[in-house]
Homo-oligomer: A and B are copies of this chain.
Amino acid sequence: MEEGTSKSASYSEGTEDPYDACQWDVREGCEVRQILDRIADKWSLLVVALLASRRMRFTELLREVDGVSQRMLTVTLRQLERDGLVERTVYPVVPPRVEYELTSLGVTLHSAVQSLVVWTETHQVEIASARAAYDRAQQALESDHGRTDPAPGAGARRAR
């Protein structure tokens, strides 16, 4: 097993003082970083979102997520299971049947993530046009890189 996060990394848990919101970022060793990395993970969110609608079997997930490899699905599910976000149920039948479902913790994560999804959907147009503008500016720069300063704005100029 070469993947995965460092298991058995015993970090000091317990009730540390709740550092204010402006501090979480600089603390690399902070748990937040780890969780964020899991959330950030390419497949985790997809799996969580799918499982939010219903419990599913391994192969179902493999089909639905589509793009995920068998190995990565396994790894992802194991991580989520380890973090207590999904629960794995094995039915001892002859063709093995395994089902995955969100735990209550997983459900809360899913709703927390939803706000980000909403943000993204809300602002995707803005972002797209910002990118277009940026790329246009870059293009202009390219064609202009021999010319002299055309807009003597005298102050600081934006977007180089």
Contacts and interface: CB of A to CB of B under 8 A. Distances in A.
Contact of A88 (B36, B40, B53, B158): B158
Given A21-B114, A49-B22, A119 B127 contact: no
Main secondary structure, interface of A, reads helix
Contacts of A120: 31-32, 35-36
A94 interface: no
Pick from A7, A50, A81, A120 the residue with the most CB of B within 10 Å: A120
A36 B10 CA distance: 29
Interface residues of A, number: 77
29 contacts: A4-B66, A4-B67, A7-B63, A11-B128, A13-B124, A22-B52, A22-B53, A24-B117, A26-B65, A31-B120, A31-B124, A35-B124, A36-B40, A36-B45, A37-B40, A82-B134, A82-B135, A83-B131, A85-B130, A90-B156, A90-B157, A90-B160, A91-B156, A105-B127, A105-B130, A109-B123, A112-B115, A112-B118, A113-B116
